[in-house]
Amino acid sequence: MLNEQLRTLSEALDDALGSRMAASAPPPLVHVCVPPFVHTPHTPCLWPLLTLRGGRDFVIDVDFMRGGELLYTGTTIVSFVGILNGMRPGADGYSFSMDARCQGGKLWANLLESLIFGAMEPCQHARFVMENANNFEEAVHLFETGKIIDDGYFIIGGSEAGQGAVVTRARNHNVDTWRIDPEDKEHGWYRLETNYDHFDEVPTADDRRTPGFANMEAVGVDNMNEDSLLSEVMTQWPTFNSHTDLTCIMRPATGLYDCTVWLD
């Protein structure tokens, strides 16, 4: 499917297939750095993406259709056949975002993983999940499985209260699945992910976790909604900083899909 789309793009734009393949190399192939992902019962997933390497002008939202009906919406970059984040709307819907793990960026190892072992780029694996998982639990399972070219985090939110998980992936296996946990009295009502494993300490030079927790707790579960999450958490420093390129809020239960590209 993805190969066919690359050929179609090449033919439509009248350029070499190799040029389309190069243009389709996603940020995770090189390096992606993102501030906290947040999932709460009220706003299942919010994702700011950093370091798009000059690609902000080419970010688009795409509706993927099946049988004449909307299957899911995803955010991508023009000519790229993967997706950066996406959402299936409805009562059984879910949303996802992704995050680089341990800073990523192992270029040659990533290429070998793809060429020798047939691993998919995380953004392309995400399309496979979005097109095959029919609900939150199926999405979690598919994100936990399959070969990908680099470590990463998949953050999944569902349409029902309590449906939220951070899947920590190695290339060929799942490391950990961190779900919303009502028994966790400290931070269990939400999950917030930066570029580091939640079960390890974050480096002091890049601690976006601590202020993220503080901002979430300051708002509180009773006052959390799309507006407060955006204004009181996701646009607060250091979550929002001079490198922030993209912020998306997704809520599968209502069909809300709102992405903002920060051009200034």
Domain boundaries, the chain: 2-261
Helix, strand, coil fractions of the chain, as percent rounded to 5: 30, 30, 40
pLDDT per residue, tens digit, the chain (264 aa), is 555 655 655 565 555 544 444 444 444 332 233 334 455 544 444 433 334 545 678 899 999 999 999 999 999 988 888 999 999 999 999 999 988 886 555 666 767 776 677 788 899 999 999 999 999 999 999 999 999 988 999 999 999 988 999 999 998 899 999 999 988 888 889 899 888 999 999 999 989 999 989 999 999 988 988 899 889 988 899 888 887 888 888 999 999 999 888 887
User: Is 37:155 a contact under the CB 8 Å cutoff?
Assistant: yes
User: Is 197:101 a contact under the CB 8 Å cutoff?
Assistant: yes
pTM above 0.95, yes or no: no
**What is the DSSP code (8-state) at residue 202?**
P
Class in CATH terms, 2-261: alpha beta
User: What is the C-alpha to C-alpha distance for residues 87 and 156, in angstroms, rounded to an integer?
Assistant: 9
- What lies within 8 Å, CB to CB, of 224 at 6+ separation is 40, 41, 42, 43, 190, 216
User: Tokens standing for 248?
Assistant: 């998306």
Longest dimension (CA), the chain: 57
Is the link from the previous residue into 238 a cis peptide, with omega within 30 of 0?
A: yes
Token pair 């707790």 is found at: 217
- Give the number of other Cβ atoms within 10 Å of residue 55's Cβ: 17
pLDDT value of position 100: 85
User: Is 92:18 a contact under the CB 8 Å cutoff?
Assistant: no
User: Is 258:246 a contact under the CB 8 Å cutoff?
Assistant: no
pLDDT value of position 9: 54
pLDDT value of position 63: 97
Beta-bridge partner residues of 166: 155, 178
User: Is 168:197 a contact under the CB 8 Å cutoff?
Assistant: yes
User: What is the C-alpha to C-alpha distance for residues 95 and 43, in angstroms, rounded to an integer?
Assistant: 10
Name the nearest CA neighbour of 110 among 197, 7, 21, 25.
25
